[in-house]
Amino acid sequence: MKQIFSIYRYNPDVDNKPYMKDYELEIPEGSDMMVLDAITLLKEKDPSLSFRRSCREGVCGSDGMNINGKNGLACITPLSAVPAKKIVLRPLPGLPVIRDLVIDMTQFYNQYEKIRPYLINDGKAPPAREHLQSIEEREKLDGLYECILCACCSSSCPSFWWNPDKFIGPAGLLHAYRFLIDSRDTATEERLDDLQDAYSVFRCHGIMNCVDVCPKGLNPTKAIGHIKSMLLTRAV
């Protein structure tokens, strides 16, 4: 079976502007493979094709890309899940392209850095040995800590497209809530102070593109809703 791919190509050193290039790949009848395996085979034919990859099993978050109009990880998206005569691959939208499917994630990481993604503990009343959590306290982190920062969510969010320098974005906010709700973190008030402006959290209008595309099945909109509730509760 012949599968056609249309892949976004742009090398700023030689191309004046981006263009779409068609590739053909012969896939044995009745077999399936991941999109990443397919573009790896295409790279054997055309070594100039560039994309990021690392773990090839949905853990590292390197190969986020736009597959037939929807962001996802190429390594865990089977070709059978995108049944189309022509599979269109583009870089994640909204972030600057370095080359082909490789994007510059600086703005994404800057927003992640803003939320201080680490435990802050004032050291008062230190435990004798270690900071223990009850089962209930630990359960609150489920659905939050699994984020692999692939940027599929933030780059599918119009609010992040328009204000990537001011709106934290769904990935950053999911992590922000992960630390806000952590029983071992004592900087809740300071974290909320940093988020109460009109952009950081409140640019989220709950359209749920992030939930739709998250390859790990997480729900950033729900976490953002919890942050808004925390901000409102302490404001009224």
Partner 1 sequence: MVNNAATVGRSGVHDYVLVRASAIILAFYTLYLVGFFVITPDVTFEIWQSFFSGFGTKIFTILALIALLVHAWIGVWQVLSDYIKPALLRGGLQFFFSVLLLVYLVAGLLTVWGV
DSSP-derived 3-state class of residue 79: helix
Q: What minimum distance in Å lies between the beta carbon of 113 and partner 1?
A: 14
Decide if 10 contacts 4 (C-beta within 8 A): no
- Find, among 93, 63, 87, the residue nearest to 76 by Cα: 63
Residue number, 12 or 206, with CB nearest to partner 1:
206
**Closer residue to partner 1 in complex, CB, 117/158:** 158
Q: Which two tokens stand for residue 224?
A: 């953002």
Compute the distance between CA of residue 200 and CA of residue 233 in angstroms, rounded to an integer. Answer: 17
The three-state DSSP-derived secondary structure of 122-155 is CCCCCCCCCCCCCHHHHHCCCCCCCCCCCCCCHH
Which two three-digit tokens encode residue 80? 């059978």
The least distance separating partner 1 from the CB of residue 219, rounded to whole angstroms, comes to 20
* Shortest distance (Å) from residue 198 CB to partner 1: 4
Q: How far is the CB of 114 from partner 1 (least distance, A)?
A: 9
In the chain, the N- to C-terminal Cα span, in Å, equals 62
- Residue 218 or 224 having the CB closest to partner 1: 224
* Closest to partner 1 by CB, 84 or 208: 208
In degrees rounded to 5, what are phi and psi of residue 95?
-115, 150
Minimum CB–partner distance for residue 7 and partner 1 (Å): 30
> Contact 166/199 with Cβ under 8 angstroms?
yes
- 10 Å Cβ neighbour count for 119? 12
Q: Report the residue number, 64 or 169, with the smaller CB distance to partner 1.
A: 169
Nearest distance from residue 152's CB to partner 1, in Å? 21
* Sites of contact with partner 1 (CB under 8 A): 158-159, 162-163, 166, 193-203, 228, 231-232, 235-236
- If the CB atoms of residues 52 and 203 are measured against partner 1, the closer one turns out to be 203
